[in-house]
Amino acid sequence: MDTDTMTTAKASAPSPVLILLGPPGAGKGTQARMLEEKLGLVQLSTGDLLREAVAAGTDAGKAAKAVMEAGGLVSDEIVINILRDRLAQPDTAKGVILDGFPRTTVQAEALDRLLEEQGQKINAAISLEVDDTEMVTRIAGRYTCAACGEGYHDLYKQPVTDGTCDKCGGTEMKRRADDNAETVGSRLKAYHAQTAPLIAYYGGKGALQKIDAMGDIDQIAAGMHAMVARAIA
């Protein structure tokens, strides 16, 4: 192979694209962060991007705020634009784990087109399989350290000293505005009506993989790691 061919081959080599599917509270964010650390892929959460837009008070953020607090889905147009901009950042060349996108068929089709334009494809869409009933308890009890982002839970994982982060010693804890029992119901409804059909969508493309996500976090992470390693090999 001469140098020219090598350069071309490298520049056009597709980087991995993974999608995490599953209801709110399934652990997509937790697992995506663990995969990011282990495999050097970039976690891309439209929920995080939208919360940043809300905090920054951009037009998209202003339009999204009330919908998010009510547990509905933000418009496809806004979310697709935010995701397209984020995918244009150079760090995504390492490969991406999409966490919380796509959430509708329109978004899935937009993603297909976007990837096709860039000569990329989806390596796997991984569905985190969980019981809905447990999701309400999981979400309504969760909170994070404002300083370092470490996650805690009222029932499952309290810091050793009440109100103080085990990891960084921070004493300010925060809860997401939409992590309350009332809003969780709407979020689960939106998931079943608009996002669950994507399981069949990716099944039809031969990209779907399922994992039992009800057990221990580290055990699920080990299963995910093996699954992803095969998918991007």
CB closer to Zn ion out of 113 and 174: 174
Span 162-191, contacts to Zn ion by CB under 5 A: 165, 167-168, 170
- Cα dihedral across residues 77, 78, 81, 83: positive or negative: negative
Determine if 148 is a binding residue for Zn ion (CB under 5 A).
yes
Q: Is 210 a catalytic residue?
A: no
> How far apart are the C-alpha atoms of 79 and 47, rounded to whole Å?
9
> How far apart are the C-alpha atoms of 198 and 214, rounded to whole Å?
20
Is 184 within 8 Å of 135 (Cβ atoms)? yes
Is 217 within 8 Å of 27 (Cβ atoms)? yes
Helix (H) or strand (E) holding 198: helix 197-204
- What is the closest distance, in whole angstroms, from the C-beta atom of residue 157 to Zn ion in the complex? 13
Q: What's the helix, strand, coil split of the chain in %, to 5?
A: 55, 15, 35
Of the residues 28, 51, 86, 138, which is catalytic? 28
Among 125, 145, 188, 224, binds Zn ion (CB under 5 A): 145
CB closer to ligand ADP out of 73 and 213: 73
Determine if 150 is a binding residue for Zn ion (CB under 5 A).
yes
The residues that touch ligand ADP, with contacts defined as CB under 6 A, are 24-25, 45-47, 50, 67-68, 71-74, 79, 100-101, 103, 107, 178, 187
Residues found near Zn ion in the complex (CB under 5 A): 145, 147-148, 150, 165, 167-168, 170
Q: Which residues are catalytic?
A: 28, 103, 142, 176, 187
